[in-house]
Amino acid sequence: MKQIWKQLGFAAVLGLGLPALAVAWAVWTNGPETFQTPEPEITQAPESTPAELSSTDQQTKVSVLLDDSDAVQLDMQTYLTGVVLAEMPASFELEALKAQAIVARTYALKRMETSNKHPGKQICTNPGCCQGYKSAEDYLAADGPQDALDKVRKAVEQTDGLVLTYGDQLIDATYFSCSGGSTEDAVAVWGAEVPYLQATDSPGEEHAVHNTDSELFSAASFAQLLGADLSGDPADWFGPVTYTKGGGVDTMEIGGVVYRGTTLRSQLGLRSTDFTVSVSGDAITITTHGFGHRVGMSQYGADAMAAAGSTCEEILAHYYQGTSLEVYSL
């Protein structure tokens, strides 16, 4: 039976609620279910030597579906190096990369334990389904610098075996690119409360590639994408708006119909639910803030915190409220 040995815990920011990715994982949809094994147990960790701890990821095997091919067996250390290379810029601060490694490890193990999306306890490399993956070889072949690869490997090795738990269970460790200033409650996105996935501030993301974006729609294309029968002056289409705790659009009335912000994001192809609408004649401009579902850890926010001197433990405590940091062991 798998056990999660409690090595260190940290107090986290108090939060309200969000969805357990078991429901949300139809979830990830940036965040970020597969084993059919017994529930892991959290026990008090005995004294462990550095040598014992350093082998945790190397001993843990992951069945990875590469490009829809047959699954390959990778050790967790190799797998996580590839995930971090694919999911977070290697130029980010070391403490942010360490936080990403812990989140990616937790996410992978949770998916492998609880999801039946892929047979045989497998996890794929599609970031829209599981997590992205880029091998070290592919990274270097694409002119990725060796020193950046070494830094990512260091982040994985220095967090060997560490996972996030809540109530003695692995958490649904969702993450995304950037928040636009505040993360979101999971309940606002997936409809279920999750106590450790609460809206929280995420400053310092101004340098994020998609901190702010604008999309221009003609009135006709907007109505077509929405599947709505809209006529008259587009400026009159838009009615009252309600907002979530994280600053995203909760509901918006358009043409007399009330839409969820998540629905509008999906149907209009928006980068996030934190958006505003402006109309000029036949042109509709939607300005978004942030990129992704905005639940869990903001990667650019983590980098900003690390640049300001925060440790990976402090970063994780900020974004996953009330969780504990522990060592996972076979």
Query: Mean pLDDT: which of 7-16, 27-36, 145-154 is highest?
Result: 145-154
**Mean pLDDT score of the chain:** 85
State residue 128's pLDDT score. 87
Share of the chain above pLDDT 70, in %: 82
Concatenating the DSSP letter of every residue in 176-216 gives ESB-SSB---HHHHHSS--TT----B----TTSTTSEEEEE
State residue 30's pLDDT score. 40
State residue 314's pLDDT score. 98
Q: In what order do the strands lie in the sheet with 283-289?
A: 212-218, 283-289, 275-280
State residue 68's pLDDT score. 60
Share of the chain above pLDDT 90, in %: 75
**112's torsion region: left (phi>0), alpha (psi -120 to 50) or beta?**
alpha
**Residue 203 near residue 322 (C-beta atoms within 8 A):** no
148-164: average pLDDT: 97
Task: Average the pLDDT over each of 32-46, 131-145, 179-193, 219-233 and give the range with the smallest value.
Answer: 32-46
Task: Average the pLDDT over each of 18-27, 52-61, 135-144, 188-197 and give the range with the smallest value.
Answer: 18-27
CA 133 to chain CA mean position, Å? 14
Band of pLDDT at residue 120, cut at 50, 70 and 90: confident
State residue 75's pLDDT score. 95
Look at residue 50 and tell me whether its pLDDT is greater than 70: no
Helix, strand, or coil (residue 90): coil
CB contact set of 307 (below 8 Å; sequence gap of 6+): 93, 204
**Residue 134 near residue 125 (C-beta atoms within 8 A):** no
**Residue 330 near residue 60 (C-beta atoms within 8 A):** yes
Task: Average the pLDDT over each of 28-32, 219-223, 249-253, 298-302 and give the range with the smallest value.
Answer: 28-32
State residue 114's pLDDT score. 79
The predicted model scores a pTM of 0.82
Look at residue 213 and tell me whether its pLDDT is greater than 80: yes
State residue 47's pLDDT score. 43
- pLDDT (tens digit, 9 = 90+) per residue, 240-294? 999 999 999 999 999 999 999 999 999 999 999 999 999 999 999 999 999 999 9
Look at residue 239 and tell me whether its pLDDT is greater than 90: yes
Cα dihedral across residues 279, 280, 282, 288: positive or negative: negative
Of 39 and 219, the structure prediction assigns the larger pLDDT to 219
213-219: average pLDDT: 97
Q: Distance between CA atoms of 164 and 169, rounded to whole angstroms?
A: 8
State residue 330's pLDDT score. 64
Task: Average the pLDDT over each of 17-26, 190-199, 220-229 and give the range with the smallest value.
Answer: 17-26
124-144: average pLDDT: 94
| Amino acid (one-letter) located at 270 | L
| Residue 61 bridge partners (DSSP) | 75
Concatenating the DSSP letter of every residue in 122-163 gives EEES-TTTS-----HHHHHHTT--HHHHHHHHHHHHHTTTEE
